[in-house]
Structure 1
Amino acid sequence: MPGDPLTGSGAVPRTVLTKAQLSRGTPTDTVPDSAFALPAEAAPPTHTFEGTLTLNGTSRAGGYRMLKDTAGYSDLEATKHLPRFSATLVQNGSHLIPTVRGLRYTGNAAWNLAVGVGRAWQEDGDGGPTRASLPFALVERNANCVHNGVLSFLFDASSISKVRYQITAETCAYHQFDMWGQVGATYRPGPIPGGKAARKAYAAEVAGRLPTKPIAQLATDHPGADVDTSKFGGEITPSALSTYGFYYDGVNYVGGCQTRRGQYPFCGQMLLPSYSTAKSAFASTAMLRLAQRYGTGVADQRLTDLVPETAGKRAWSGVTINHALDMSTGNYTSAGFEIDEAGSTMLDFFLAEPYTAKMNKALSFPRKATPGSQWVYHTSDTFLATRALNNYLRKKTGPRADLFNMLRDEVLTPIGISPDAGATSRTDNSAHGVPFGGYGMFWTQDDIAKFAKFLNNDAGAVGGRQVLHPGLLADSMQQNPSERGVTTTGSTPMRYQNGFWDREFTAADNPAYTKPFHVPFMSGFGGITVAMMPNGSTYYCFSDNYEYGWSAAVSESQKLAPMASGARP
């Protein structure tokens, strides 16, 4: 297992989350996140955890400190506590692996849950039990906000201490808080079906991650380029920055994962929301996959032939999947920049949890223009495109087909995306609901770098096998000058094509840009950017203060030589 065996002596100087505190402590606030981290002197674990961990009494336990809440989420008592929390875990060396990863529906009124891979180790001061720490995330029900936390406990072959937990970070523009507590727990040891496969799969996953270095190492690795690495992430308020990174020349150069109590102990495991990057990474990429399988005509399929709810709605006649992915259906209330997206109809669409209610709102905009002639940003249009693509897939393969599962099995998993990103938010707060399409995916640092590499460097191919339609992908990635997409509105008009944004850079942006070039990018609510550069590099940033600046990252990227693969004119 990469990272094992641990080589520390076990002589860890610990004053926070001691054995005594985990046995009978009552926390009154959060503590430094470093208390949950694997220490330098951690020794190999004596005990092996295999079984089910259940936290008891979470619905009433703990403290909650509201920092920002523009919509009154704190009025709901469930918001202030963990949901029901149970995880089946196996161990590989010092790695503590949940057998179910990614989004899990809890039924809680406020939160769904994701549990990441943690560590187990030995400290002399614990007197025999093994210490464990696990990352987890609360995911807002029916939305895409993610609040990252960590928990810790002691265990031996048959018993467990109390479990300390806290949340000190999030990627959420409108709801921010600290949460902490300590609860009793139940450990039910026993062999786990599929445990051996889970251990083997995680070892392969870790071995298959992109090489990672701190962002400052970029300047050291490429000294002749005179890259100022402080510019990466530098246009975002530091307290609002979850993480950022820069992929170049086969390396994922990463920034930190700052929380309100220090660095997040599992930065590579920090769960990040997609928001509207899903418009590119889910809806558009699924279309590109189907086009490779069945031909480019999939983009020209009419919604009225694939979405039964459009029956009798004349406003949707002539609207194709391509129009919906381009946000040019011709159906809107106002053509002003994102006025509709911030309006009451879209608010009702976002708040609607049942499929029927969400679909009704998506179809409620009136016809104002000929399809294909006017760009108006509507997340609901991507929801419609996703539903149409799903039903197209069912016509081809059978009634049980699911578009996201197809994307996961045929695109995401083959390129090495982790199980943390292997589920998406759906209607009806159910794993059996309909995918949102335009938001509701999740990423880690490695996941987003790999996905961008797949588009920007690998041209939609895996191991020499073409997975996405090369021509339509080239259009989306601005490699075809005759297919730039629909012109957007706003103070800085850009282009939008198949769920991807495009910004052109010229000498007006920087005198060094003697030849104009295009940067396709994915963008997400609150401050999420994934910009794929002409030289084959990618800059990504996850933040939540409504700041979207990334032109400085483009400037630094342009100092680097084009990569051997992935560079484009």
Structure 2
Amino acid sequence: MILKNKYKAQRLLLKIIIISAISFNITAETVHQKPHQRTALSFENLTDMSTKYTKHNSSPVNNDNYLPNPHSKAAKHTFSGTITISETEMLSIPEKILPTIVNNKYTQLFPGLNLAFFSDKDRLIPVNRDIVVAKKSESFWQLQASPGKTWSEPGDNGYSRASFPFILTSNIENESYNGIASFIYTDKKISQLHYQIVHQLSPYMIQTRFVAWGKIAASYQPEIFSNAEQLKRQFSKELKDRFSVRPWSELTDKYPAKLLAEFDSGISSDKTVSSGLIIDNTIYAKPHLTPYGNYPYPEEMRHGVWSASKSMLGMTTALRMAQKYGDGIFDLKIKDYLTVTAEHDGWDQVTFGDALNMATGIGAGSHNIQANDISDGYLAVENQTEYLAWYFSETAEEKIKYVFKNPNYPWGPNQYVRYRDRDTFTLAVALDALLKEKEGPDANIWTMMVNEVFTPIGIHHLTSNMTKEANGANPIPFMGWGLYMTMDHIAKISTLLQNEGRHKGQQILSQEKLAEALYKTEKRGLLTGRENRYGKKSYHMSLWHTPYETEPGVAISIPEMHGFGGVLIALFPNKMTGFRIGNGGYSSLGMIDTANKLKPFK
């Protein structure tokens, strides 16, 4: 009897264990299926209007919080309308953005403006893809939004969620402060806009490299855009036209690690936003690093490439016009297209080609030709007041007035290269005048480049700083700096140059003058006063030429484009292109060595 009761007790205990285990599994599964609760950018965080962000109760978060999470589903609502955001003081690290005022505008203020978007499937698409300028704003900044995403999450109480990338910049400089913004929405309303600015390239006037964050009161005006279907088709074509972007790890899987190890040698990883190789219409890119994780929209990330604009826009515009009107345009004289008001005769023999070479013989530097430093006089203290007056001038007429106030050197044009943004801008105005002479007063070089070069090679929504002209006159791109480029833009123009100016059988750029620029002819540029272990560096037609030896005694030259701070684009003889976007300078030999090892130069 005791034994029988013992067996009953054991069976009862086993049953309790089984039931408990089942209950535990159900509970565990239930916990696993419980709606995901965000700890950052939560529903409460996005909708709480009472709590003001301060440096003590908030900070930037990991960039992943601006993307869908594993629990996300399709958006519950269609978005179509205009977001109005108010001008708001930014929280930043460091606490103050210095100087606090530039050109009578406040650098700590996020601009107040209107941003129109519509959704297509899971994409949030800006109606205006250009740089948006706030009207009557006290903020120093302008904003350009790029396509983002829409989705929904279980913890958002029936709302949908969206995020989009953007840059802050100004029309004076070419800095690019990359950020992300997020909000939740229904058919009729949206939450506050939360944002963080997580990386930037080198500024000139702004003394502080900063990250920033905050929340902005926002309102939503639903609207059906009459051109929405057209914009959807255009965006679909834009995606189709893009080069494939593959992770750098695919190269490390394909090639021995030692061949790729030195690619970014000489540059600190924290000074690099992104770098990679363009091979056969494919971009192999390293992660886009920021202090808060990888940038969540790497293909939309825009970079102010500073003086790489001299090549990407200045040289390509001259080459396009040479293809249209003949290579002789390089020998045209500036004085025949612009009214020269200089009190000297230094401009009498200066040609379009001299301006592209920055060898006009005009400038306020020293007359020391023994050292022959390309940067002599560029930012000389005695030249600062005049330089800044030119720099801040808004119209082409005002800028040209200051160009012609510069003295001339005793040696004349095409003798020594001296780095001068003003030479490239002067070329831009002269090229625009030539185009108007050929095609009428309404012709404009930027419009010509968009229609005849950028669009045909598959570039969409490339933007640039421009002059601000009165009465709605067409502006002129600065051309010496000012382009805001994605990886795809860089890849497309580089590939056009690598393909001798041809695209799908059409000769878009002058083949002969491009060959000269790339040192594929006997013509060579002027020495810069700089060198590496292989020899002396030179400059020609906006390209820096770095000497290199493929093997002992076999010398070649690598054409490079440089942008202030650390933008580098290098065109290799094996048709590969290397690029690095960052703040770490122009060390390129590791990149050149890597490309030569992957496919030896000939």
Q: With structure 2 as the length reference, what TM-score do the two structures score?
A: 0.85
Q: Match for residue 539 of structure 1? A: 578
Cα deviation code 1:352-407 (max 9, x no counterpart): 33434422222233222121111111111001111111100000011111112211
Aligned partner of 1:555 among 593, 598, 601: 593
SS in 2 for 1:269: coil
Contact 1:113 1:138 in 2 (8 A): yes
Partners of 2:35 and 2:497 in 1: how far apart? 47
- Structure-2 separation of matches of 1:137 and 1:432: 24
RMSD between aligned alpha carbons? 2.4
User: Distance between the aligned counterparts of 1:526 and 1:348, measured in 2?
Assistant: 23
Shift of 1:219: 2.6
Check if 1:131 corresponds to 2:169. no
Once the two structures are superposed, residues 507-559 of structure 1 have per-residue CA deviations (whole angstroms, 9 ceiling, x without a partner) of 7xxxx4552121111111111100011111111111124x2112101111101
Equivalences for 1:379-394 in 2 at 5 Å?
379-394=421-436
Q: Secondary structure in 1 aligned to 2:328? A: helix
Partner amino acid, structure 2, of 1:261: Y
- For residues 278-318 of structure 1, the C-alpha deviation after alignment (integer angstroms, 9 at most, x for no partner) is 11111111110011011111111100000124476522101
Larger Rg: 2
CA distance in 1, matches of 2:229, 2:96: 43
Residues 146, 273 of structure 1: 8 Å contact kept: yes
Equivalent position of 2:129 in the other structure: 101
Q: Distance in 1 between matches of 2:262 and 2:97?
A: 30
> Quick one: structure 1 residues 40 and 505, their matched pair in 2 at CA, closer, same or farther if it must change by over 3 Å?
farther
Q: Which residue of 2 aligns with 1:449?
A: 491
Once the 2 structures are TM-superposed, how far is the Cα of residue 135 of structure 1 from its aligned partner? Answer: 0.7
Match of 2:375 in 1: 338
Q: 1:71 to 1:183 in 2, by over 3 A?
A: closer
Q: CA deviation at 1:332?
A: 2.2
Displacement of 1:432 in angstroms is: 4.3
Match of 2:502 in 1: 461
Matching of residue 519 in structure 1 with residue 547 in structure 2: no
Partner of 1:4: none
Q: CA deviation at 1:11?
A: 5.7
Q: Which residue among 91, 94, 107 is the counterpart of 1:79?
A: 107
Task: Work out whether residues 113 and 133 of structure 2, in 8 Å CA contact, stay in contact via their aligned partners in 1.
Answer: no
Residues 109 and 140 in structure 2, CA contact (< 8 A), matched pair in contact too = no
> Do the aligned partners of 2:544 and 2:559 also contact (CA within 8 Å) in 1?
yes
The 5-angstrom pairing of residues 410-425 of structure 1 reads 410-419=452-461, 421-425=462-466
Look up the equivalent residue of 2:317 and give its one-letter code.
A
Matches within 5 A, 1:22-41: 22-24=46-48, 26-27=52-53, 28-41=58-71
Larger mean Cα displacement after TM superposition, 240-249 or 421-430: 421-430
**CA contact 1:50–1:192 (8 Å) conserved in 2:** yes
Rounded Cα–Cα distance in structure 2 between residues aligned with 1:139 and 1:29: 22
CA distance in 2, matches of 1:363, 1:506: 42
C-alpha distance in 2, partners of 1:354/1:390?
14
In structure 2, the residue matched to 1:401 is 443
Which of 288, 309, 325 is the matching residue for 1:294?
A: 325
User: Is it true that 1:498 corresponds to 2:522 in the alignment?
Assistant: no
Q: Which moved more, 1:491-500 or 1:88-97?
A: 491-500
Distance 1:549 1:69, change over 3 A: farther
2:457 aligned counterpart, secondary structure: coil
Moved more, 351-360 or 285-294: 351-360
Q: Which amino acid aligns with 2:184?
A: L
Whole-Å separation in 2 of the counterparts to 1:106 and 1:467: 36
Question: In the alignment, is residue 214 of structure 1 matched against residue 247 of structure 2?
Answer: yes
Question: Comparing 73-82 with 526-535, which one deviates more in the overlay?
Answer: 73-82
Q: 1:14 aligned to 2:51? A: no
- Equivalent residue for 2:26? none
Show CA shifts across 1:435-472 (max 9, x none).
2111001111111112111111x221121110001000
Q: Does 1:160 align with 2:190?
A: yes
* Range that drifts further, 390-399 or 424-433: 424-433
Assess if the C-alpha contact under 8 Å between 1:219 and 1:227 holds in 2: no
| Offset of residue 412 of structure 1 | 1.2
Q: Match for residue 6 of structure 1?
A: none
Residue identity opposite 2:247 in structure 1: P
The one-letter code matched in structure 2 to 1:372 is N
Is residue 2:312 matched to residue 1:281? yes
User: Contact conserved, 1:136 with 1:150, CA < 8 A, in 2?
Assistant: yes
TM value normalised by structure 1? 0.90
Kept in 2: contact 1:68–1:176 (CA 8 A): no
Q: What do the CA deviations read for 1:256-284 (whole angstroms, capped 9, x no partner)?
A: 12122221111111110121111111111
Equivalents in 1 of 2:167, 2:376: separation in Å? Answer: 32
Question: Which sits farther off after the overlay, 303-312 or 445-454?
Answer: 303-312
AA partner of residue 401 (structure 2)? N
Q: CA deviation at 1:183?
A: 2.0
Which deviates more from structure 2 when the two are superposed, residues 467-476 or residues 73-82? 73-82
2: CA distance between counterparts of 1:427 and 1:485?
Answer: 34
Count of residues in correspondence between the two structures:
544
SS at structure 2 position matched to 1:496? strand
Is residue 71–residue 154 contact of structure 2 (8 Å, CA) maintained in 1? no
Q: Greater CA deviation, 110-119 or 37-46?
A: 37-46
How many angstroms does 1:425 deviate by? 3.2
Aligned residue in 1 for 2:27: none
| Residues 462 and 51 of structure 1: CA distance in aligned 2, closer, same or farther (over 3 Å) | same
Q: 1:90 aligns with which of 118, 121, 124?
A: 118
1:50 aligns with 2:91: no
